[in-house]
Amino acid sequence: MQPRSIAELSTAERRAFFDRDAGVESAREDVREILPRVREEGDVALREFSKEFDGVEVANVDVTAEAERAVDDVDDDTLDAIRDAIENVRAFHERQRPSDWREEFEGRELGRRFRPIDRVGVYVPGGTAAYPSSAIMGVVPAKVAGVDHVAVATPPAEEINPVTLAAVHEAGADAVYSVGGAQAIGALAYGTETVKAVQKIVGPGNPWVTAAKAEVRGEVEIDFLAGPSEILVLADDTADPAFVAADLLAQAEHDPEASVVAVTDDEDLADAVVDEIDRQADGREREEIIREALDNDASGVLVARSMPEAVLFAEEYAAEHLSIQADDDEALLDRIDNAGSVFLGGYAPVAAGDYATGTNHVLPTGGGAKVHGGLSVDEFLRSSTVQRLDRDALDELAPTVTTLAEAEGLEAHAESVRVRLREDEADDGDSA
């Protein structure tokens, strides 16, 4: 990896940074074969796909009891860390809970109320790594919102990682299923003999999981399409190159398709970051995955002609994780709207947010931060508006309502107002 100038990037090189599909489109054809079989064959299809894709003979799809027992199989330090993370995530997300309200608006009593979705499915990735943190990030906000039934699906294994199962149980999941990939999304969306269908599916996954969420959207709600991990570090000459490199490698070890980018207006820093990347990557347990991610066309160390150019690049990139390691990080943050989660300063590594600060690490990727934020309590709530009018309030609104209703050719709408006012006038006349 060598530093590259933003100004000298070719059209194809720029497209690689900004059009980050990460293989989702290519997975859709496979997914369109998997999902109908899950709908039609239920548990039989789940077991066959687990054997075909995961190499595992699944005896029990429902592993809720195993999750409860897994707590006893985890060492005390790990269990304490799980519980500490859960408490921090719960505390942050409880601040997000909206309150019902009613107010007077010139004689009109108007308000809004919030109610949780009844049944939610949380996908917790497995595969090349165990992700107990993803269980926490999906289950806890749902429970904070008041969701009655939270089901977790996680890929099968000869022995599912007990830390993941313990985290699922401690977070408060009501059901746990040993099924992964697109077939897990299908099971949660359609239901099977064992898996109870849900109303909404949340959580990140591989391209097949993401493509499946896109396919079932409409029959069931989803949070958003979250692909492989991303980070963009915006740094000036005050940044520590070792910190910048460490953050890039931390996200690179997730997936060969991860996108890791550093942007700076200082050439010396860019050179130092590249040197640190090579030094720190050497000998890592997941070095092969890291090296593949670093060679990804959507990864690189970029040099801007100025900090405003660097900011424009970051804004267009719309990173899942945005780290600002610069002298005036608040001023730079004020100029960037598009980011999933922001980490300010040299001592706020993304890993802290991944596990323990309390913010959610299920975040939009592929530029999705331009239109929505990360997983939150809001994803698990629905709202209703409430209104009460007395006779005077209706009388005041009547000209507006009847005029617009008739302009739209909806005479019965207008009459539904007039009949109330005429009835009141008739009653007044009888009284006289």
Q: What is the pLDDT along the chain (432 residues), one digit of tens a residue?
A: 899 999 999 999 999 999 887 667 889 999 999 999 999 999 999 999 999 999 999 999 999 999 999 999 999 999 999 999 999 999 999 999 999 999 999 889 999 999 999 999 999 998 656 789 999 999 999 999 999 999 999 999 988 999 999 999 999 999 999 999 999 999 999 999 999 999 999 999 988 999 999 999 999 999 998 888 999 999 999 999 999 999 999 999 988 989 999 999 999 999 999 999 999 999 999 999 999 999 999 999 999 999 999 999 999 999 999 999 999 999 999 999 999 999 999 999 999 999 999 999 999 999 999 999 999 999 999 999 999 999 999 999 999 999 999 999 999 999 999 999 986 565 665 655
Strand order in the sheet with 119-123: 175-178, 149-154, 119-123, 200-202, 221-222
pLDDT in tens, 162-212: 999 999 999 999 999 999 999 999 999 999 999 999 999 999 998 899 999
332 and 263 Cβ atoms separated by less than 8 Å: no
pLDDT of residue 378: 97
Q: Among positive and negative, which fits the CA dihedral 163, 164, 167, 169?
A: negative
- pLDDT at res. 351: 97
pLDDT at 252: 96
pLDDT of residue 25: 81
Cα–Cα distance for residue pair 234/244, rounded to 1 Å:
9
Token code pair at residue 89:
């995530």
Beta partners for residue 342, in sequence order: 322
Number of other CB atoms surrounding residue 167 within 10 Å: 34
10 Cβ neighbours under 8 A, 6+ residues apart: none
Beta strands 101-105 and 108-116: pairing type? antiparallel
The pTM assigned to this predicted structure is 0.92
Angstrom distance (rounded) from CA 129 to CA 208: 17
End-to-end CA distance of the chain: 92
- pLDDT the model gives residue 430: 60
Helix, strand or coil, per DSSP, at residue 324: strand
Q: Which residues form the catalytic set?
A: 320-321
